[in-house]
Amino acid sequence: MLRRLSVPLCTALVAGIPVAGSAQEDAAASSPTLTWSGYELENVGRPDGVSVTEIDGREVLTVKRTGVMLTGAEFSEGVIELDIAFDDFRGFGGLMWHVNETRSEYFYLRKHKSGLPDAGQYSPVRNGLTSWQIYTDRNAIAPFAFTQEGWNRFKLVVQGDRADIYFNGSAEPVLHIPDLASDAGSGGIGFRASGPNGEIRISNFSQRPLRAGEGIVGTAATDRAAPDGVIEAWSVSQRFDENVIDGAMMLPVELEALETLGTLAVEPFGIADISRLAGPEDNLDSVLVSTRITSDAARNVRFRFGYSDRLRLFLNGELVFDGSAGWRSRDFFFLGTIGFNDAVVLDLEEGENVLVAAVSETFGGWGFAGAIDDDDGLVIAP
């Protein structure tokens, strides 16, 4: 099982890129320093995954199943432009910006999916975890069309907390990002490639400030909104080993004593992104996400929810749901994206009821969401 290490992004990689072991780190440390486009390169993964060559008069950076940082490059707002090339085998790769310890913004292309609805995707990275299973609306994905026979031109415009992405000379942004959700604001620049055939080539890179009259022109999509009755904030516990909860019919007593990491507000579309507070580590891949429901009378209510990757749901200490919805957990094509697609009936007692979701993560987005359609007579608070 692949797990993520919550350590600085500059020394470990996330979302499907192997983390260097000590032997690899020693090899990387002894490798000669590479320079490209005026920057020294910091390889943050596979020591053999970064190279610089000249192709048809271009200085080309190749990134293969690893990540690389441009040492000394700092970016807050402005324009980044580059050419990118790749083959059509299954893999992923793109640009990181506002890289800041374990946080960054990330846009990548699914290089085998030209023209398909999810050919390009934006995701924040927080605590070393890429949340692509959570950011799945038209503010995060778009049908980028590209060639695998030559170079594609990429242009990113960032102003404040928003971004527009232009591609292959498009007159309008192919993707508008209305909220750069890592909230880093500024930071480093790098590239990342992952997946079984994750290899990208970059040339003609530049960054510059915004010019007079230049800025954001895209508008936010409205294809996704939080449903009625969404629970807007949750209490999140310290992390623990999923083995503690596996097979439990009642909430284990030892978990009730866990301290809280904090109260987590949901994103505008109703999902709590747990990576805002923590990322999973070996043997620390689960948290309790909880709230208190005070009812003015005993009643049954329909609770709609979504999660990733695995969930055990407890009401007043008793198990009411146990499920798995991680990437490929159900079939080869199952993505594990999060929505309000499951439901259970909660048998509420008069007075206070405690709803606890034990949510476990492997990769792709650590999230939970819940809504009660008919919340009359209920007070819900973490």
* 219 alpha-carbon distance from chain centroid: 22
Q: How far apart are CA 44 and CA 32, in angstroms?
A: 14
Q: How far apart are CA 356 and CA 181, in angstroms?
A: 26
Residue 353 corresponds to which tokens in the numbers above?
């009821």
Higher pLDDT, 361 or 21: 361
- List domains and CATH numbers for the chain: 22-208 (2.60.120.560), 233-381 (2.60.120)
Look-up: residue for tokens 């080869």? 332
75-89 average pLDDT score:
97
The per-residue pLDDT for range 109-164, each reduced to its tens digit, is 999 999 999 999 999 999 999 999 999 999 999 999 999 999 999 999 999 999 99
Q: Is the pLDDT of residue 21 over 50?
A: no
Q: How far apart are CA 261 and CA 238, in angstroms?
A: 5
Quote the percentage of the chain above a pLDDT of 70. Answer: 92
Contacts of 300 (CB under 8 A, 6+ apart): 345, 346, 347, 348
Q: What is the pLDDT, as a whole number, of residue 193?
A: 97
Q: What is the pLDDT, as a whole number, of residue 31?
A: 58
229-233 average pLDDT score:
98
Q: What is the pTM for the complete model shown?
A: 0.90
Q: How far apart are CA 46 and CA 311, in angstroms?
A: 33
Q: How far apart are CA 277 and CA 284, in angstroms?
A: 13
Higher pLDDT, 144 or 4: 144
Q: Is the pLDDT of residue 10 over 50?
A: no
The per-residue pLDDT for range 287-302, each reduced to its tens digit, is 999 999 999 999 999 9
Instruction: Tell me phi and psi for residue 6, to 5 degrees.
Output: -85, 75
CB contact at 8 A, 35 and 70: no
Q: What is the pLDDT, as a whole number, of residue 24?
A: 42
CA dihedral 12, 13, 14, 16 (to 10 degrees): -130
Look-up: residue for tokens 């596996």? 246
Helical spans, DSSP H, in the chain: 22-30, 253-256
